[in-house]
Amino acid sequence: MRASDTDSRFRHVPWRRALPAALSGILLTASFPPLNLWWLAWIALAPLLIAVKGMPPGKAFTLGLVAGMVHYLTLIYWIVVVLGHYGGLNVLLSVVPLLLLCAYLSLFPALFSLLYGLFGRRPLPALLCGACAWVGLEYVRTVFITGFPWCLLGYSQYGNLHVIQIADLFGVYGVSFIIVLSNGAAFQLWERLVRKSVPFPKWETLLTALCIGLTLVYGHQRLAENERTDGTSRKTVKTAVIQGNIDQSIKWDPAHQSGTLDIYEGLTNGTTDFDPDLIVWPETAVPFFFQDQGDYGQRVIALAEASKSALLFGSPAYERTEGKLRYFNRAYLIDPEKRSVQHYDKVHLVPFGEYVPLKRFLSFIHRLVPAAGDFESGGQVRPLPLEGVSLGVLICFEAIFPDLARRVTGRGADILVNLTNDAWFGKTSAPHQHLCMAVFRAIENRRPLIRAANTGISATVLENGKIEASTPLFQEAVLTSTLRLPSPENTFYTRYGDLFARLSLILALLGAVWGIWRRRRP
């Protein structure tokens, strides 16, 4: 498509249509952290649906782009902070990647708007196919290329415990489906209010009310069941999360390595009275190659042995293969009783942060972003076993990918542990958003989750998704918890994964084909 064609399309979209679309973008962002106006998500898409009503496919697509750009520019503005302040890129130049990423993400609400118009004039098929289309597009966004499922719609409800329990059946996509269904019903009720000739959407309202009701009943039942099992004699694990609050600007300076280790040693020694079974430090808490077993490495081992607690921490690592060095973002687990050291290498790396995709063709990226890493994927998702408990480690933004947590749980993880360094985000909304997504990994797999973040937010999340405790941002902190190990039985979602999302995508495509056929029929 030529630029002139796009400009013409925008010129021919009336402002009275564009303003409701933009309002949807604002309402969507407000439903996420840090504002946490979660109830807005249930009506946020209604203005967009009002705007695209009766519009031809091209203009409906454009209105979806408007909603998407407003939403993502206000949601992930922190990209400028990451690339500009911490990534070493010129602040003005860092706006360009933000705009490109937002333009890409806006294609998904744009396609949703286009598809909604194709589903025909019958309210009930449009309602169901619309919800399926949104979920199907979220699934595509999660798996396409490297995937970027940041703040899918269902994540806005992370604090609404009764609603989000269905994630152990359908994942976060099930919550998104219910929300879009509610938006579609709200849109149809609005049409009835402003146009008396439109019949009351009784079946659509009944279906939406039934789905929401069943969701709440299931949530109540699961939460009540969780309370009953809390009183049973399940094995417990005492954990201590250490938040070192190391400034990103000095983190990798060799002159500060000893001081960094002093901070972690001091905070760890402060847990002696609690006598934890497991101590957790964040991603790359050890800013040197621990595997070399130098003086600093020996200090870490000695600390684990003195505490008599297993120690899980992040550190960069390398392997020399055929004369070539390969670097990894690694988590180490020291078991002082067995005098053993295990490790897990991060599988899902951050594109343009930890590696450069298509490096052969994009070699200039390193000149643009000096902080861009050169790590390689570990290639294997596996838990790290301890005596009587197995840890499923998720490093940094691996926690926003449901399938990784599902796979490591299916292979025996009893507790999920997210090691992250959110210092890159600065004092923005990103650390809050990152945490709200990690919450769903606990519910989907019915496993407690420990989150250790360098500058916060560190947290302990129960298997029902309740954030039991959390730390403030940019403070040294110690977070202690006693976690009950869950039932070894795997959830429906752990066993079957994104089955619901895939079915939704198929139904949406079938609905689109049906809509196109009806439009072309004489």
Do residues 376 and 363 touch, judged by C-beta distance below 8 A? Answer: no
- pLDDT for res 385: 93
Which of the following is catalytic: 283, 354, 444, 463? 283
Residue 20 lies in a domain: yes
Residues 197 and 252 in one domain: no
Residues 350 and 262 in one domain: yes
Find the domain containing 133 and state its range: 3-229+498-520
Residue 227 reports pLDDT greater than 60: yes
Residues 318 and 355 in one domain: yes
Residue 289 lies in a domain: yes
Residues 198 and 339 in one domain: no
Distance (Å, rounded) from C-alpha 490 to C-alpha 473? 34
**Terminal CA-to-CA distance of the chain, rounded, Å?**
29
- pLDDT for res 1: 46
- pLDDT for res 369: 44
- pLDDT for res 379: 79
Residue with tokens 């659509």: 204
Which of residues 322 and 136 earns the better pLDDT score? 136
Residues 199 and 337 in one domain: no
When pLDDT is cut at 50, 70 and 90, the band that residue 202 belongs to is confident
Residue 491 lies in a domain: no
Residue 439 reports pLDDT greater than 80: yes
Q: Which two tokens stand for residue 149?
A: 């499922």
Distance (Å, rounded) from C-alpha 117 to C-alpha 176? 20
CATH number at residue 332: 3.60.110.10
Please choose, from the candidates 174, 81, 193, the residue with its C-alpha nearest in 3D space to the C-alpha of residue 422.
81
Average pLDDT in the 474-493 region? 94
Residues 167 and 48 in one domain: yes
Residues 384 and 438 in one domain: yes
Residue 493 lies in a domain: no
Residues 410 and 503 in one domain: no
Amino acid identity for residue 95 in this structure? V
Residue 490 lies in a domain: no
Question: Taking all residues of the chain, what is their mean pLDDT, rounded to a whole number?
Answer: 89
What pairing do the DSSP bridges indicate for beta strands 389-395 and 384-386? antiparallel
List beta partners, residue 389. Answer: 386
Residue 330 lies in a domain: yes
Annotated catalytic residue 202: no
DSSP class of residue 469 equals E
DSSP class of residue 42 equals G
Residues 293 and 251 in one domain: yes
The total number of structural domains in the chain stands at: 2
Please choose, from the candidates 266, 298, 291, the residue with its C-alpha nearest in 3D space to the C-alpha of residue 281.
266
Strand ranges in 186-339 using DSSP code E only, listed in sequence order: 236-243, 278-280, 310-321, 324-335
Which of the following is catalytic: 396, 398, 436, 463? 396
Distance (Å, rounded) from C-alpha 97 to C-alpha 148? 14
For the stretch 290-301, pLDDT in tens is 988 888 999 999
Residues 176 and 62 in one domain: yes
When pLDDT is cut at 50, 70 and 90, the band that residue 92 belongs to is confident
Residue 207 lies in a domain: yes
Q: Pick the range with the lowest mean pLDDT from 301-305, 365-369, 464-468.
A: 365-369
Which of the following is catalytic: 346, 354, 398, 436? 346
What pairing do the DSSP bridges indicate for beta strands 415-420 and 389-395? parallel
For the stretch 232-288, pLDDT in tens is 657 899 999 999 999 887 887 888 889 999 999 999 999 999 999 999 999 999 998
- pLDDT for res 253: 81
Question: What strand order describes the sheet that includes 340-345?
Answer: 340-345, 324-335, 310-321, 278-280, 236-243, 477-484
Residues 36 and 68 in one domain: yes
For the stretch 331-387, pLDDT in tens is 999 998 888 899 999 998 887 666 666 555 445 444 444 444 578 888 789 999 998
Residue 492 lies in a domain: no
Residue 125 neighbours by CB distance under 10 Å: 14
Residues 511 and 466 in one domain: no
